[in-house]
Structure 1
Amino acid sequence: MRISDVLRTKGSEVVTIAGSASVAELVALLREKGIGAVVVVDDPTTGAISGIVSERDVVRRLATDAESLLSTPVSAVMTTTVHTCEGDEELHDVAVRMTERRIRHLPVVDGDRLTSIVSIGDVVKSRLQELQAERDHLEGYISS
């Protein structure tokens, strides 16, 4: 199974934010959308990724900068080294990479252009569906 297969059932909506937005705007967006990370895109016409910012980034910064954090720009708390994947990559390979690097959200790109995002939850859900299909197939084979 490929990442593009996961995205076919999940959809490709990606929530983005500008690096100049405040952490308060970020937190409101995370809450409104019910998500754990947002891709930072400063130029929506190109879709080039500037960074990624997650709940973890906010919490880590909160421990040292609670008073001024909400007015801080997203660019000050985001992760700038963004690991990505492409739609034609194998799900297993992406799952291994996410696990090894302790990444919960991975932007999906086509060249330099952001196309979607995949979470560890999406990966686990797809893998569980694969295992269930294999189980059903084996049960059918044994029963016949």
Structure 2
Amino acid sequence: MLIGSILRGKGTEVATVPPGATVRDLLEVLAERNIGAVVVSEDGSTIVGIVSERDVVRRLNERGAEILGAPVSSIMTTEVRTCAPDANVDELRQTMTTHRIRHVPVVSDGRLAGLVSIGDVVKSAIEELQTEKAHLVEYIHR
């Protein structure tokens, strides 16, 4: 299965914040959308970084509540792993597991095309297994 098929099912909308947004602004986006990460982008299509709820928690622990007024750029991950819509889901799942990454932006023609979470990847694997099981059961009952 390809990443593009996950995006067809979940959609391509990606929450973004500019690097100058405050961590407080970031938290508002995370809470309002009930999501775990946002892409940091100046224009909504290029990737400057990514920031997750885990990043916020770690920085809160290190620096305290002062971090809430700091810019997102001060806590974001700048070396962002991305994938293309034609990437293989199994390979991405392995990469996400190996590198302990929970969110991977999808890039097509140099532009942000979606965001895939580990939950999306696991869900697709479960659906694939259920489909295979149904085919095997049908085959056995013939």
Bin for the TM-score computed over the shorter chain: over 0.9
Alignment partner of 1:10 is 2:15: no
Match of 2:138 in 1: 140
Match of 1:35 in 2: 35
Match of 1:125 in 2: 123
Match of 1:90 in 2: 88
Q: CA deviation at 1:42?
A: 1.2
What is the rounded CA distance, in whole Å, between the counterparts of 2:106 and 2:74 in structure 1?
A: 23
What is the rounded CA distance, in whole Å, between the counterparts of 1:104 and 1:111 in structure 2?
A: 23
Q: CA deviation at 1:48?
A: 1.2
Percent of paired sites with the same residue = 51
What is the rounded CA distance, in whole Å, between the counterparts of 1:94 and 1:123 in structure 2?
A: 8
Gaps in structure 2 of 5+ consecutive residues: none
What is the rounded CA distance, in whole Å, between the counterparts of 2:66 and 2:82 in structure 1?
A: 31
What is the rounded CA distance, in whole Å, between the counterparts of 1:16 and 1:109 in structure 2?
A: 14
Gaps in structure 1 of 5+ consecutive residues: none
- One-letter code aligned to 1:7: L
Match of 2:60 in 1: 62
What is the rounded CA distance, in whole Å, between the counterparts of 2:21 and 2:6 in structure 1?
A: 30
What is the rounded CA distance, in whole Å, between the counterparts of 1:117 and 1:67 in structure 2?
A: 29
How big is the alpha-carbon RMSD for the aligned residues of Structure 1 and Structure 2? 0.7
- Alignment: residue pair count: 142
Normalising by structure 2, what TM-score? Answer: 0.98
Q: CA deviation at 1:112?
A: 2.0
Normalising by structure 1, what TM-score? Answer: 0.96
What is the rounded CA distance, in whole Å, between the counterparts of 1:64 and 1:2 in structure 2?
A: 39
- One-letter code aligned to 1:80: T
Runs ≥4 residues deviating over 3 A? none
What is the rounded CA distance, in whole Å, between the counterparts of 1:66 and 1:35 in structure 2?
A: 23
1:103-137 Cα distance to aligned partner (Å, 9 max, x none): 00000001321110000000000000000000000
